[in-house]
C-alpha cells in the first residue's frame, strides 16, 4: 500500500491534512497561493521534501493568479517567490524548488511562449520535481541496505515517511525496505514534542504498513537505546551543511549525542538535494523559531503558567562528527563530509 499525501489535480494542490492525524484523515484541495503558504506554515503539509514539492506547485498556482491580474511574468515570479520563501526558512528543498522554477521561467520566456504554454511547462517542471523525489526515495533505500541489513532494532525521530515526501519517504522508507528483508524488525518511535510528529504521524504510517513499533517519550530515548539494544538510529534532514552538520527536527542533536556515547551508528537519510554545499557549517543555518503556543497549549488546554515564557525552536543542528554516514540517492557519504560532498559534486 502506498500513501498519496500530495498531488496536483485540475489546478488544485491536494494534500492530506497532517495536522488532523491520526484522529481524522482529511484531504484538502488548495486552489490559491495563500492557502498553500498557510498549509506549509501550519504544518498541514510538512517534511523537507514535501515542502519542496508543495513550493513548486504553489509557484505555478501563484504565477497563474498574478498573470490573471495583468502582472508581468517578472513581477509575478518575484512576488510569488518571496511569498513562498517566507513560509518556512530552514528546509533547503523549498529554496531549491523555487530556484528551479525561476530558471524554468527564464528558459521559457526567451521562447516567446503564450501564458498558457508557460503555465503548462511550469506544471511539467513541478511534476518532475515530484517524481524525482519519489525516485530518490527508492534509491536511498537501496543504498542504505548494505549498511543496515543486520539491523534488528532501529530508533527514529519525527516523521520521515510518505507524509514528509512525495509519497515514499527518507529514513522511514529505508525502514520499510528493511522490514521486507527481515520481519523481526522493531522500530522505536520518539513521540517528537511539541507537535508529536512521531506518535501522531510515524506511528500512523507504521500501523498502515503493519510494521512492529513502540512509541517512547523523547526523554526516554537514551535509556531505550540500552534497554532495547538499538542497532542504529535513522533520521531525516531539512538541511545538511558542507561539513556534515545537519539541521533536523528539534531533539535530533540529543539522540546523536546519546548514540555516539553508546557506540550506536547514527545515520542521516536525505535526498542529495537537501545538502547545501553553499553553507560551510551548521552555525550558518537559519533555525525556525515557532510560536510559544505550541508548547504552552495542547488541545486548547494551557500546560504552563505563563505561555510567554517558552522557547520553541523547530530544529536543532547535529554536528557532523556525530553522524556515522549520510545516506542519499546518489550514494552513501562518509566522513570527512566536505571531501565526500565535493567529490560527488565533481569539484
pLDDT tens for residues 11-66? 999 999 999 999 999 999 999 999 999 999 999 999 999 999 999 999 999 999 99
Let me know if 315 is exposed, middle or buried by CB neighbors in 10 A (0-12, 13-18, 19+): buried
Q: Where a domain ends, among 135, 167, 200? A: 135
Q: Per DSSP, which regions of the chain are E strands?
A: 6-9, 12-16, 27-30, 153-156, 186-190, 213-216, 232-235, 239-241, 246-249, 266-269, 275-276, 297-298, 301-302, 315-318, 325-327, 332-333
The pLDDT mean for the chain works out to 95
Question: Residue 198: which of 247, 165, 156, 154 has the closest Cα?
Answer: 156
Do 231 and 165 share a domain, yes or no? yes
**Cell reading at 92:** 533547503
Do 332 and 216 share a domain, yes or no? yes
pLDDT at 345: 93
Question: Residue 118: which of 66, 83, 49, 55 has the closest Cα?
Answer: 66
pLDDT digits (tens, 9 = 90+) for 141-164: 999 999 999 999 999 999 999 999
Do 128 and 146 share a domain, yes or no? no
Annotation says 238 is catalytic? yes
β-strand pairing of 12-16 with 6-9: antiparallel
Do 123 and 145 share a domain, yes or no? no
Regarding pTM above 0.75, the answer is: yes
Beta-carbon contacts of 106 under 8 Å, excluding residues fewer than 6 positions away, are none
pLDDT digits (tens, 9 = 90+) for 69-122: 988 888 899 999 999 999 998 878 999 999 999 999 988 876 677 888 899 999
Domain count, the chain: 2
Q: Where a domain ends, among 112, 135, 158? A: 135
Label residue 347 by pLDDT band (50, 70, 90): confident
Q: At 127, phi and psi to the nearest 5?
A: -65, -35
Range of weakest confidence among 109-113, 138-142, 208-212: 109-113
How large is the average pLDDT for residues 182-188? 95
Per the CB < 8 A criterion, the answer to whether 185 and 211 are in contact is yes
CATH of the domain at 24: 1.20.120.420
User: Would residue 1 count as lying in a domain?
Assistant: no
> Of 133, 218, 238, 329, which is the active-site residue?
238
pLDDT at 1: 63
Enclosing H/E stretch for 292: none
How large is the average pLDDT for residues 315-341? 98
Q: Where a domain ends, among 103, 135, 167? A: 135
Provide the residue range defining the domain that includes 116: 6-135
Amino acid at each position: 500500500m502506498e500513501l498519496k499525501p500530495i498531488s496536483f489535480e485540475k489546478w488544485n494542490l491536494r494534500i492530506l491534512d497532517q495536522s488532523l492525524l491520526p484522529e481524522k484523515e482529511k484531504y484538502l484541495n488548495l486552489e490559491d497561493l495563500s492557502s498553500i503558504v498557510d498549509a506549509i506554515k501550519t504544518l498541514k503539509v510538512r517534511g523537507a521534501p514535501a515542502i519542496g514539492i508543495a513550493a513548486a506547485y504553489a509557484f505555478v498556482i501563484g504565477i497563474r493568479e498574478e498573470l490573471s491580474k495583468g502582472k508581468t511574468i517578472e513581477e509575478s515570479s518575484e512576488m510569488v517567490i518571496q511569498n513562498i520563501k517566507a513560509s518556512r526558512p530552514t528546509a533547503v528543498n523549498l529554496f531549491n524548488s523555487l530556484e528551479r522554477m525561476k530558471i524554468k521561467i527564464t528558459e521559457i520566456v526567451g521562447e516567446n511562449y503564450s501564458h498558457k504554454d508557460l503555465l503548462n511547462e511550469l506544471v511539467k517542471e513541478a511534476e518532475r520535481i515530484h517524481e524525482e523525489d519519489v525516485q530518490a526515495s527508492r534509491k536511498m533505500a537501496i543504498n542504505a541496505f548494505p549498511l543496515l541489513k543486520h539491523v534488528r532494532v532501529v530508533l527514529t525521530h519525527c516523521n520521515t515517511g510518505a507524509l514528509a515526501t512525495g509519497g515514499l519517504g527518507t529514513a522511514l522508507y529505508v525502514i520499510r525496505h528493511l522490514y521486507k528483508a527481515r520481519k523481526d524488525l522493531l522500530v522505536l518511535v520518539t513521540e517528537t514534542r511539541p507537535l508529536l510528529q512521531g506518535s501522531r504521524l510515524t506511528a500512523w504510517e507504521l500501523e498502515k504498513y503493519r510494521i512492529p513499533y513502540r512509541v517512547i517519550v523523547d526523554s526516554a530515548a537514551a535509556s531505550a537505546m540500552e534497554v532495547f539494544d538499538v542497532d542504529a538510529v535513522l533520521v531525516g534532514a531539512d538541511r545538511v551543511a558542507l561539513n556534515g552538520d545537519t539541521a533536523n527536527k528539534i531533539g535530533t542533536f540529543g539522540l546523536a549525542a546519546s548514540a555516539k556515547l553508546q557506540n550506536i551508528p547514527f545515520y542521516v537519510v536525505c535526498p542529495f538535494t537537501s545538502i547545501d554545499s553553499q553553507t560551510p557549517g551548521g552555525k550558518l543555518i537559519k533555525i525556525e523559531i515557532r510560536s510559544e503556543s505550541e508548547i504552552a497549549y495542547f488541545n486548547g488546554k494551557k500546560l504552563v503558567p505563563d505561555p510567554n515564557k517558552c522557547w520553541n525552536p523547530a530544529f536543532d543542528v547535529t554536528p557532523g562528527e556525530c553522524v556515522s554516514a549520510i545516506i542519499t540517492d546518489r550514494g552513501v557519504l562518509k566522513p570527512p563530509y566536505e571531501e565526500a560532498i565535493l567529490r560527488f559534486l565533481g569539484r
